[in-house]
Structure 1
């Protein structure tokens, strides 16, 4: 089952994808967030609740997706009116491809991914190797912690079709094609996974390449998810593609794979190490957590510019996520802090 959130400017609705149409839920269901909370409060299966709330109203999905309808797509999860209730984060160095890309950015000449002498590894490759060794613990056991990063609150999440902005202080902006998991925290502090969605995590790889300690700052950027939130998808072996369009031409394209069979860490291990922090288990919070990329155009020497379109799609996760790229004017003066007197 796949859900979307849509708006016509004056109202919001949640709909089930039933290709080639969207089946609207009842008019009082205005957000996926409220729907998930209702399922928790009533102790119902989310999918069963969705089925019980379907109305007879349908919309042509092609028109909504293509921008020819008064209705437009929103990100498939948000907390309306309160973006600070959303925490956006991610786990890196989870895929072999991501390790190769990171190694290429940070390694000294002649160092390769397959290097087995830990003393000669970059810190990135050392952490990836630890994940390969201890990132998939047996049931009931705790594995090694993966890399973790913070991206921002819900204000950084852009809808499908919205522009991803390279800020004026940034050195670059590049797509990262990933799956993101979506969670809500119940009143008793227990995390519940609502589903998964296609994502473009978007980062500043030039800034990161200068020094791996810049990773934290390179991730504080906008991102996009959607258009569809998939309830309980198969996440074992998920093929997909990422591409960059410049005008009518495909500038870069690559077949990619995600899913647990292609990752060093199991999903359960990544979830444990995210939610072991008490601050990540606050009732009513929503978490959007990116699970890592297999490949990125930056690793092929591509630099995105204003007007480019980044496109990501994974098999079983619905329609492609597309976002144009725009660049702000370079920052010319420092941000000034006012002193309170």
Structure 2
């Protein structure tokens, strides 16, 4: 059995590598080529570089396609650039804009993995005769009784399992993640070992199609008139000021509200129906119950209404929290947090773990405050 778990010699094992032009995917391709695999590199052109302004550090931009091509040439593998602009527009960018208009906080990188990469590119890899699609994600994978299990990356700082919660069991069986046990420093050392031009290339920090982090500008371009001004109100509905469009605000935001009451105020809710931004004290941000839609579960036993103890993350960088998840019908679930959490917004992902093992997750459709907080708010009203 070879290093990727197949009963064939590496040279007889075709692997497609998703090459973004960054150091992680470049090292993935070079590492597998060095191990003797039949490697094919594919880079996706995901958006119109004239519409989404090209900038240094943004993934999938023109320079990144050039970098991926140069790496493929250097390590001696075939390389293809596939035009997935329409798919990316329909599956990721349109949903991103609509989500903000619904008052949500979307996570487009998850959508991209869920649709364009692990659905469309995976099918293309199979069409090319590849037995696996490899990526540069920092997540670990292991086979147990012929079925893949996914785990948080060995290096907690670089762990990317949060962004892969929507990976189905069939996809996990087909995918490979050679960097899951490495640190970023170890990856860069390998890039230098293989003399890759991208060894010192900076990491992309922003959403690839959002220039300079200004997502509101992108939404305005996609949905003209989206930035309609409206009222900023307190928990009782009293008008405190005006906002410049709900797309400019997120739950938990404190800075830039333009209102002052003598005590710190935070965005607690966005009301798209009435075009209002609701603000309140920090304690009004706390929630203890989450309703999830489009639930993906890859645990060993199905979810049920009796509840399953899990660890959850509602942000990629946070420490997992204790919770109980209750299964519901048609992809819905309910999560009860052991300790209330603040700044949780509809549209975010709630990702679940058993220790380091990734169990899946869902999209937050609604939240509920702890009973004590809800009662206090009612008394204030």
TM-score (structure 1 length as normaliser): 0.25
Bigger Rg, structure 1 or 2: 2
- Structure having the larger proportion of residues in helix: 2
If asked which structure has higher relative contact order (CA below 8 Å, sep 6+), I would say 1
